[in-house]
């Protein structure tokens, strides 16, 4: 059934009766004085527009602030109607679009869409002081003979330390154990205008045989650390010079990074990354 072919009975079911007998969109109040409504049934644009108008009037009288409308992919045709009523796109996932509206006259305090992508570089060094490096088949270093740390993007729902272990395994076939986050860099307007958090992670190799990923990696090897640092690409790159200094200091015992600790807050599990060596326990 298309969004424009639903019957009047379906349209009535799309709303719920508020105080005073006015039909409004069904919604759940959030913790910040707003309303979240998920459209689940098809309706024609004119019915949806009328429901939006009565709903906004009702929510305004009730002192609500932000209004969130979640449109599943099969009802995406209603987005134009919502935009005409003053809503704007907040974010989209593969199966839905989220629109938002701000009711009060004062400044909008709604949170922005996710602003950062998280990526990692993996510093893996063995007992021979050889570092695990790769040459990529794609990207800026393609075909330039440049050896670099394995890098990649942390997946949704994945912790930084798990992502670093996974990326090394995928690109090189080497098993590793996360040691520490040594440093991180923030940049703006990178991937589709989003910001990026780039974490330099140290990992301990648990295996040494290399099996390079065919789809992305041209070559992989264990390279003497001094040879890696003397590459012109590293010497002429400010970020890489700082990274090599930090990695060298860590290897020599002159620097401490952040280990991870599983912690819970408000019944939600997460990871705290901190300098455990210099932490002074509370008594």
pLDDT < 50 positions in the chain:
1-14, 19, 283
Place of tokens 């860099």: 185
pTM: predicted TM-score of the whole model, two decimal places: 0.78
> Which two tokens mark 3?
């969004």
pLDDT of residue 146: 95
158 is catalytic: no
Query: Which is catalytic among the residues 170, 216, 218, 256?
Result: 170
User: From CA 236, how far away is CA 247, in angstroms rounded?
Assistant: 17
Place of tokens 């939006």: 52
pLDDT of residue 168: 98
Convert the pLDDT of each residue in 103-132 to its tens digit.
999 899 898 888 888 999 999 999 999 999
Residue 272 DSSP class: E
* CB within 8 Å of 164: residues ≥ 6 apart: 120, 122, 176, 178, 199, 201, 203
pLDDT of residue 140: 87
User: From CA 146, how far away is CA 148, in angstroms rounded?
Assistant: 6
Domains, the chain, in order of start with CATH, read 17-102 (3.40.630.30), 116-274 (3.90.79.10)
* CB within 8 Å of 71: residues ≥ 6 apart: 39, 78, 79, 82, 96, 97, 98, 99
Convert the pLDDT of each residue in 216-242 to its tens digit.
999 999 999 999 999 999 999 999 999
- Kindly report each contact of residues 227-235 with a partner whose C-beta sits within 8 Å and lies 24 or more positions away, as own/partner: 228/131, 228/133, 228/147, 231/146, 231/147, 233/141, 233/144, 233/146, 233/148
Q: Residue 146 to residues 33, 93, 116, 211, 247: CA-CA distances in angstroms?
A: 53, 36, 27, 19, 19
pLDDT of residue 3: 36
pLDDT of residue 37: 95
């Amino acid at each position: 059934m298309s969004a424009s072919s639903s019957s009047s009975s379906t349209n009535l079911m799309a709303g719920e009766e508020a105080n005073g007998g006015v039909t409004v969109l069904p919604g759940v109040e959030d913790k910040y004085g707003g309303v979240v409504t998920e459209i689940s049934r098809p309706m024609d644009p004119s019915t949806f527009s009328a429901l939006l108008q009565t709903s906004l009037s009702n929510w305004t009288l009730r002192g609500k602030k932000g209004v969130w409308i979640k449109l599943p992919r099969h009802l995406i045709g209603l987005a134009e109607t919502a935009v005409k009523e003053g809503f704007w796109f907040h974010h989209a996932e593969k199966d839905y679009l989220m629109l938002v509206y701000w009711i009060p006259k004062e400044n909008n305090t709604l949170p922005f869409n996710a602003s950062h992508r998280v990526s990692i570089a993996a510093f893996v060094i063995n007992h021979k002081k050889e570092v695990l490096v790769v040459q990529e088949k794609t990207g800026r270093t393609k075909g330039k003979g440049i050896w670099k740390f394995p890098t990649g993007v942390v997946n949704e729902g994945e912790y930084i330390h798990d992502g670093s272990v996974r990326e090394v395994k995928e690109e090189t076939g080497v098993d590793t154990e996360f040691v520490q986050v040594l440093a991180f860099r923030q940049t703006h307007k990178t991937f589709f205008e989003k910001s990026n958090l780039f974490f330099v992670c140290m990992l301990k190799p648990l295996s040494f045989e290399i099996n390079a990923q065919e789809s992305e990696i041209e070559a992989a090897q264990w390279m003497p650390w001094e040879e890696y640092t003397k590459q012109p690409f590293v010497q002429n790159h400010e970020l890489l010079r700082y990274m090599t200094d930090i990695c060298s200091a860590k290897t020599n015992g002159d620097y401490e990074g952040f280990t991870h600790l599983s912690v819970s807050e408000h019944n939600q599990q997460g990871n705290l990354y901190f300098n455990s060596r210099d932490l002074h326990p509370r008594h």
